[in-house]
Amino acid sequence: MGLSLAQRLSSQGVQVTLFERERQAGGLTTYHDYGSFWWDRFYHVILSSDRNLIGYLHEIGLGDQLRWSPARSGLYARGRMYPVTSPWELLRFPLVGMIGKLRLARTILTCNRIRDWRVLEAVSVEEWLIGQCGRRTYEAFWKPLLLAKLGEQYARVSAVFIWSYITRLFSTRDTTAQRNQLGYVAGGYRTVIRRLEQLIQAAGGTIRLGTAIQAIVPAPDGGFSVHANGREDHFDKVIWTGPIEGGSPLATQGLVSVGATSGPIEYLGVVCSVLVTRKAVVPYYTLNLADSEIPFTGVIGMSSIVPTKETAGLFLTYFPKYVPSDDPYLKLPDDTVRQQFGEGLRKLFPDLQEADIVALHINRAVKVQPLQVLHYSTKVPTVATRHKDFFVLNTSQFVNSTLNNNAVIGAVNEFVQAHGRNFVEVSNLSQTGLEPARVS
Ligand SMILES: Cc1cc2nc3c(=O)[nH]c(=O)nc-3n(C[C@H](O)[C@H](O)[C@H](O)COP(=O)(O)OP(=O)(O)OC[C@H]3O[C@@H](n4cnc5c(N)ncnc54)[C@H](O)[C@@H]3O)c2cc1C
């Protein structure tokens, strides 16, 4: 969000400074050093329906780096893996009866017909899906998917989640060449992040990595003083694109109210084990798990869509486990996670030998998925705030969409359309010495 916003505004002549707490840009979309290659720290793919994102990749000159591969999905239940990609495979899926399958199809059609998603905010996703499909189909099909995406917290999430998930998955581009395919950018998201860094710097912007903002203080004569790394800088305008937490740099100055009425936004964190192997582990991009003994909530076979020439001839498989952002699991030592992970791995893939494993990386993120609880849209911070020159743009504002980079670019597009002119005007005035800027 911060990088694309900085790129967009700086390309319009706004003088931008981007603050990033980590030593590497990209946030959750960032890359990771897997030894002999770089790839995304957390698994990412692009859907053919991601129009905002695909349009943006073309705009920044990476359209010709987009690659597409057929995607397959599977479900693990009762000690077996079942393919569930095509309608034909779904028809043969033995754990749901024929009536359940018809109701499954009807649920997808119903989702595609619902225009006013707000009606789903009052009902839990579990209750809604059971109402649509019956308990048996819910337990066999939907619950593993909810667990893979949300961990045990799925029970508190509203039906908007499944509506936005299904409508995103089933909306396709007009040109259907990439229908049912998943996309990535050659070189992974590292290619995108590095391009954005270059474009921002080429347009005169500044990127300050390893710089956590400690305070944003409104200045008496207008604008803000931003405190970070023992230094204070003045900016005319600030946009905050990180999560908002109690005690954050924003809350202390009363710029936005954190949890004034309904409590702060709750986030899920993720512990994501990434296995690098010499042979393919799983033929599916997503394998949902209906087995409560397995210590992760899903399996993502990245190498089922990304050819191994991108990953030094090796295979990459991600094993996420989503938990609340204050769950002690996020703080477990790597060795404990490794041990639990090994037990699950042996159960799922008994043929995988020790000699096939090159490395196991354990990555964590604390604030990942805002938890879209009942009536979520009434709880999120607004883009425009109490201060006319301070804005918030973050993923907690996605009230009718899942967490994804297509929605991120959509939010940036809307922001630039609504407020970009103000930034450009202030920028033109800054010939007088003021430095207009924005903060991520
Ligand atoms: C496991 C996983 C799988 C995913 N899969 C997909 C996928 O397949 N497709 C897809 O489109 N999306 C996917 N996503 C979602 C995608 O990563 C997010 O949409 C995107 O990263 C959101 O970007 P953001 O900038 O809004 O937030 P973030 O990436 O969280 O960035 C916020 C930034 O703010 C910085 N920050 C916070 N506080 C401060 C401070 N005080 N000072 C300075 N900097 C600060 C943070 O360090 C961070 O870099 C996935 C995410 C995860 C975790």
pLDDT tens, the chain, 440 aa long: 999 999 999 999 999 999 999 999 999 999 999 999 999 999 999 999 999 999 999 999 999 999 999 999 999 998 999 999 888 888 889 989 999 999 988 998 999 899 899 999 999 999 999 999 999 999 999 999 999 889 889 999 999 999 999 888 777 544 445 567 999 999 999 999 999 999 999 999 999 999 999 989 999 989 999 999 999 999 999 999 999 876 667 656 677 765 545 567 899 999 999 999 999 999 999 999 988 889 998 999 999 999 999 999 999 999 999 999 999 999 999 999 999 999 999 999 999 999 999 999 999 999 999 999 999 999 888 898 888 899 999 999 999 999 999 999 999 999 999 999 888 877 666 544 444 444 43
Which of 370, 377, 381 lies closest to 403, judged by CA?
370
Instruction: Report pLDDT digits (tens) over 367-382.
Output: 999 999 999 999 888 8
CA of 362 to the centre of ligand 1 (A): 17
What tokens were used for 98? 């024929």
- Compute the distance between CA of residue 411 and CA of residue 117 in angstroms, rounded to an integer: 18
The share of the chain scoring above pLDDT 90, in percent, equals 74
Domains in the chain (CATH in brackets) are: 2-44+188-264+374-432 (3.50.50.60), 84-170 (no CATH), 267-370 (3.90.660.20)
- Contact 104/137 with Cβ under 8 angstroms? yes
How many angstroms separate the Cα of 159 from the Cα of each of 100, 163, 320, 400?
19, 6, 22, 10
- Compute the distance between CA of residue 142 and CA of residue 121 in angstroms, rounded to an integer: 18
- Contact 437/16 with Cβ under 8 angstroms? yes
CA of 305 to the centre of ligand 1 (A): 22
Residue given tokens 């499944």 in the structure block: 162
Alpha helices in 183-281 (DSSP H): 189-202
- Residues with a CB atom less than 6 Å from ligand 1: 1-2, 19-22, 27-29, 42-45, 212-213, 241-242, 249, 270, 272, 320, 365, 368, 394-395, 403-406, 408, 440
Instruction: Pick from 403, 413, 415 the residue to mutate for probing ligand 1's pocket: most ligand atoms within 8 Å of its CB.
Output: 403
Residue nearest ligand 1's atom 6 by CA: 44
What does pLDDT average to over the chain?
Answer: 90
**Would you state the pLDDT for residue 431?**
46
Which of 350, 3, 377 lies closest to 199, judged by CA?
3
How many angstroms separate the Cα of 65 from the Cα of each of 54, 349, 389, 394?
11, 33, 37, 27
CA of 243 to the centre of ligand 1 (A): 9
Residue nearest ligand 1's atom 7 by CA: 44
How many angstroms separate the Cα of 163 from the Cα of each of 8, 59, 401, 405?
30, 30, 9, 18
pTM beyond 0.85:
yes
- Other CB atoms within a 10 A radius of the CB of residue 173 amount to 14
**Would you state the pLDDT for residue 436?**
46
Q: Is 210 helix (H, G, I), strand (E, B) or coil?
A: coil
